[in-house]
């Protein structure tokens, strides 16, 4: 049995693709100051969705409320303190359904932004969001929504650039599913690196690993295109320069934070247009069964999945374009200068393991995942855009190594 999937795109086929992105992006330090004017361009009734506590303690929050008040903007509030569940989305929608909301703005991490996406969509509907979730409901979402502005305060998920809202129902039979449509890409993204300066090391690290996983996963995806390849390589270069500095060495370095925000945004664009592989296949299942931060799941499995993909490619298809891509990633994020693509690719997996240790990414066992859960997780996961077909025994080996 041949492990690797064949290179499915070549020649003119490689240049045959679609691409979806925000209508407007405002990126850079100080861009948060544009938010009141952007809100006002849609109307006077705003639904503002924030996280539980952290952003509300900042001067940015105080300034925003005062400015909106001076602009005579009517502000309705909702908050989300964990990954959004379908029930929480329905609750927010019921509360604000009859308030003639003109625009929804979400300020926070990926969970907050995903909440904003789902709420902006469901404010136009009468049904539960469950009816429209992939793999759960039977209704097809038509893309109708209230205008939506995304303002990330973490550098990780890239949700400000993606076309899906990830909802989670955690239980023994739980799930992590998406409400998806290309029109769910936020109408406007405001990415201001200053908003990430207050992130703890743990949040910075977990979110950064999520973005890194998305950049690598989309670059080696079998659905990659020239557009996503170009973007992913640029994002990886900045992640390589800024990740350890922003999370370990100098968290207040605004240049490092800016590079991380750029890498995160680009990771959202590339995942939305090229898809992801086995790491996120694991995360989609594990996140439905256990209360584990998404970035932690990705971060703890990235090196292992990368190593397995690379070793399979070396064994079965050493001339693969995907192996060359892994080698290129090693050169970009680790300044690796080996004598061959195989050497550079293997050095990449070693580098990712080193980063996992330096950044102190937790094992899954610390969150309650046990060896008895391996079969259940592996049987439920997918790997549709992974560059090689991993056997069940490979997936179990990867998972056990991080429990």
CB within 8 A of 398, min separation 6: which ones? 278, 282, 301, 304, 305, 308, 390
CB 330 within 8 Å of CB 264: no
What is residue 26's predicted lDDT score, i.e. its pLDDT? Answer: 98
Neighbours of 294 (CB within 10 A): 26
Q: What angle do CA 262, 116, 48 make, to 5 degrees?
A: 100
What is residue 396's predicted lDDT score, i.e. its pLDDT? Answer: 98
Give the torsion sign (CA, 103, 128, 79, 251): negative
Q: Reply yes or no on domain 199-401 having CATH 1.20.1090.10.
A: yes
User: What CA–CA distance (Å, rounded) separates 338 from 315?
Assistant: 19
In the chain the first and final C-alpha atoms are separated, in Å, by 29
What is residue 1's predicted lDDT score, i.e. its pLDDT? Answer: 42
pTM listed for this prediction: 0.94
Task: Report which DSSP code applies to 340.
Answer: S
DSSP letters, 146-171, are --EEEEESSSSS-GGG-SEEEEEE-S
Strands 164-169 vs 175-180: parallel, antiparallel or unpaired: antiparallel
- Per-10-residue mean pLDDT for the chain, 403 residues long? 57 80 96 98 97 87 96 96 94 96 97 97 96 94 97 96 94 90 97 95 95 97 95 95 94 96 97 96 95 96 98 93 95 86 94 96 97 97 93 97 97
CATH code 1.20.1090.10 region(s) in the chain: 199-401
CATH code 3.40.50.1970 region(s) in the chain: 31-191
User: What CA–CA distance (Å, rounded) separates 55 from 28?
Assistant: 18
Token pair of 53 as six digits: 């506590």
Strands 45-50 vs 164-169: parallel, antiparallel or unpaired: unpaired
Token pair of 372 as six digits: 């008895």
CB 280 within 8 Å of CB 110: no
Bridge partners (DSSP) listed for residue 26: 190
CB within 8 A of 222, min separation 6: which ones? 5, 7, 8, 9, 385, 386, 387
Bridge partners (DSSP) listed for residue 47: 76, 104
To which residue do tokens 């995160």 refer?
A: 264
Bridge partners (DSSP) listed for residue 212: none
- DSSP H helical segments within 18-152, as ranges? 35-40, 59-70, 86-96, 110-122
Token pair of 73 as six digits: 């903007």
CB 366 within 8 Å of CB 202: no
Q: Which residues of 346-365 are buried (b: 16+ CB within 10 A; e: fewer)?
A: bbbbebbeebbeebebbebe
User: What CA–CA distance (Å, rounded) separates 228 from 181?
Assistant: 19
User: What CA–CA distance (Å, rounded) separates 256 from 192?
Assistant: 13
Q: Quick one: fold of 31-191?
A: Rossmann fold (3.40.50)
* Sheet with 188-191, side-by-side order of all strands: 24-27, 188-191, 148-152, 103-108, 45-50, 74-79
User: What CA–CA distance (Å, rounded) separates 28 from 49?
Assistant: 22
């Amino acid at each position: 049995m041949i492990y690797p999937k064949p290179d499915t795109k070549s020649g003119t086929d490689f240049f045959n693709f679609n691409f979806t992105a925000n209508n407007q992006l405002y990126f850079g330090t100080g861009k948060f100051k544009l938010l009141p004017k952007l809100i006002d361009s849609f109307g006077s009734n705003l639904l503002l969705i924030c996280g539980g506590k952290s952003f509300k303690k900042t001067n940015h929050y105080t300034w925003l409320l005062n400015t909106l008040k001076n602009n005579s903007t009517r502000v309705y509030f909702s908050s989300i303190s964990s990954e959004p569940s379908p029930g929480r989305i329905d609750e927010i929608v019921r509360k604000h359904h009859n308030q003639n909301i003109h625009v929804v703005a979400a300020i926070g991490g990926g969970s907050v932004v995903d909440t904003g996406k789902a709420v902006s969509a469901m404010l136009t509907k009468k049904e539960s969001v469950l009816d429209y979730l992939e793999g759960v409901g039977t209704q097809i979402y038509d893309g109708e929504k209230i205008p939506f502005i995304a303002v990330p305060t973490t550098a990780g998920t890239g949700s400000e650039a993606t076309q899906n809202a990830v909802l989670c129902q955690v239980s023994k039979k739980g799930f992590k599913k998406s409400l998806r449509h290309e029109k769910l890409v936020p109408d406007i993204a405001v990415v201001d690196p200053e908003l990430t300066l207050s992130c703890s090391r743990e949040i910075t690290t977990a979110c950064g690993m999520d973005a890194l996983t998305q950049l690598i996963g989309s670059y080696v995806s079998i659905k990659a295109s020239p557009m996503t390849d170009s973007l992913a390589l640029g994002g990886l270069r900045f992640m390589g320069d800024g990740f350890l500095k922003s999370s370990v060495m100098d968290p207040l370095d605004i240049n490092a934070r800016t590079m991380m925000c750029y890498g995160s945004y680009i990771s959202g664009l590339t995942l939305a247009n090229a898809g992801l592989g086995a790491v996120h296949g694991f995360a989609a299942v594990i996140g439905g069964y256990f209360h584990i931060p998404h970035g932690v799941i990705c971060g703890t499995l990235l090196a292992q999945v990368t190593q397995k993909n690379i070793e399979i490619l070396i064994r079965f298809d050493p001339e693969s374009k995907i192996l060359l891509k892994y080698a290129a990633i090693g050169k970009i994020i680790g300044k690796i200068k080996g004598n061959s693509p195989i050497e550079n690719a293997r050095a990449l997996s070693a580098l990712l393991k080193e980063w996992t240790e330096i950044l102190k990414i937790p094992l899954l066992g610390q969150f309650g995942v046990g060896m008895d859960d391996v079969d259940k997780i592996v049987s439920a996961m997918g790997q549709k855009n992974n560059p090689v077909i991993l056997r069940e025994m490979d997936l179990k080996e990867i998972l056990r190594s991080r429990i």
